[in-house]
Amino acid sequence: MKTVLLVCGSGASSGFMAANVRRAASSRKMEINIFARSDSEIVDYIETIDILLVGPHLAYMVDSIEEITKKQGVPVYVIPQGIYGSLDGNKLLDFILDKLGGTKNG
């Protein structure tokens, strides 16, 4: 099972997004470990995740975030604004699966 960390400024909006992805995965009978935290907590979780997703409003931080993640080989992606703004769990799940090289179903 893959583990995904979503980060935003406080972890609140990404928390709603993570919950929607969990619902989408459940409806597709897929298992994914996805959770949300503040961007200040990345170092606390970097050794336990497979992919890091960043809220679009933090896109300016990607270079500094990648400095933290590259030692662990964890890829970093900015969540597209349209997906993040609509809190669309299905579309973000598809985005995650694409980035992880998985297949979509459901």
Q: Which domain holds residue 30?
A: 3-100
Number of domains in the chain: 1
CATH number of domain containing 61? 3.40.50.2300
Whose CA is closest to 64, among 85, 40, 36, 81? 40
pLDDT per residue, tens digit, the chain (106 aa), is 899 999 988 767 889 999 999 999 999 999 999 999 999 999 999 999 999 999 999 999 999 999 999 999 999 999 999 999 999 999 999 999 999 986 554 4
Q: Judge contact between 21 and 96, C-beta under 8 A.
A: yes
- DSSP letters, 80-101, are PHHHHHHT-HHHHHHHHHHHHT
Q: Per the confidence metrics, is the pTM higher than 0.75?
A: yes
Is residue 33 included in any domain, yes or no?
yes
Is residue 106 included in any domain, yes or no?
no
Is residue 44 included in any domain, yes or no?
yes
Is residue 105 included in any domain, yes or no?
no
